[in-house]
C-alpha cells in the first residue's frame, strides 16, 4: 500500500471539502476553546471589567486585547465555524452561553484584571459539561429518600 497525502486522496476520490466535516456542537466548540487556552496555561489574559454592571448594548460590544475571547477568535477553525469577532456578545452567541456563564468566564470581579489561561480553560470545561436536569434531580432525590 502506497502512502498518499490527504490532498491527493481528496483529488482521487472526488471528495468535496464541505462534505468532509460536520458543524461542531456547542460542547465541541467549548472543548476546542478550552484546549486552546490550555496550550499556554500560565499565560496571563485580560478580563473584562464588571460585565454584570454594563448596559446590554455596551456589554455585547465589550472586548479587550489578550483576553480569553481573543484566544478563541485567533483559532482558524472557530472562525470557520462562524465566530465573527472577539466581543462578549459574539462569544455569547457562538458558544451558546448565558450572561451568567460569560460572567464566570471573563469578568474581572472573579480574578482581578488578569487571569491564568489554564484557569479559564477549567471554567470553560465546567460550563461545557451538561448538568443534570431538574427532572433527573427530582427522580434521584425521590429514589434516595424512598430507600431510607
- What is the structure's pLDDT at 11? 64
In this predicted model, what pLDDT tens digit does every residue of 68-89 receive, in sequence order? 999 999 999 999 999 999 999 9
Predicted confidence (pLDDT) per residue in 17-46, tens digit? 555 668 999 999 999 999 999 999 999 999
Bridge partners of 44? 116
pTM of this structure: 0.75
What are the C-alpha distances in Å from 36 to residues 18, 20, 70, 112? Answer: 24, 23, 11, 22
Distance of CA 96 to the CA centre of its chain: 9
Q: Which H or E run contains 137?
A: helix 134-147
| Sign of the C-alpha dihedral computed for residues 127, 129, 134 and 137 taken in this order | negative
Confidence of residue 5 (pLDDT cuts 50, 70, 90): low
Sign of CA dihedral 27, 29, 30, 35: positive
Partnered with residue 116 across adjacent β-strands are: 44
Amino acid at each position: 500500500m502506497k502512502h498518499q497525502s490527504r490532498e491527493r486522496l481528496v483529488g482521487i476520490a472526488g471528495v468535496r471539502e464541505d462534505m468532509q466535516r460536520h458543524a461542531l456542537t456547542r460542547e465541541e466548540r467549548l472543548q476546542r476553546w478550552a484546549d486552546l487556552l490550555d496550550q499556554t496555561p500560565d499565560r496571563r489574559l485580560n478580563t473584562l471589567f464588571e460585565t454584570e454592571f454594563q448596559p446590554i448594548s455596551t456589554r455585547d460590544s465589550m472586548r479587550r486585547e489578550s483576553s480569553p475571547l481573543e484566544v478563541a477568535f485567533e483559532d482558524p477553525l472557530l472562525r470557520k465555524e462562524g465566530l465573527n469577532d472577539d466581543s462578549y456578545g459574539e462569544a455569547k452567541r457562538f458558544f451558546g452561553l448565558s450572561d451568567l456563564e460569560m460572567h464566570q468566564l471573563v469578568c474581572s470581579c472573579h480574578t482581578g484584571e488578569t487571569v491564568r489561561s489554564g484557569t479559564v480553560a477549567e471554567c470553560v470545561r465546567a460550563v461545557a459539561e451538561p448538568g443534570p436536569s431538574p427532572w433527573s434531580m427530582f427522580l434521584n432525590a425521590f429514589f434516595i429518600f424512598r430507600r431510607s
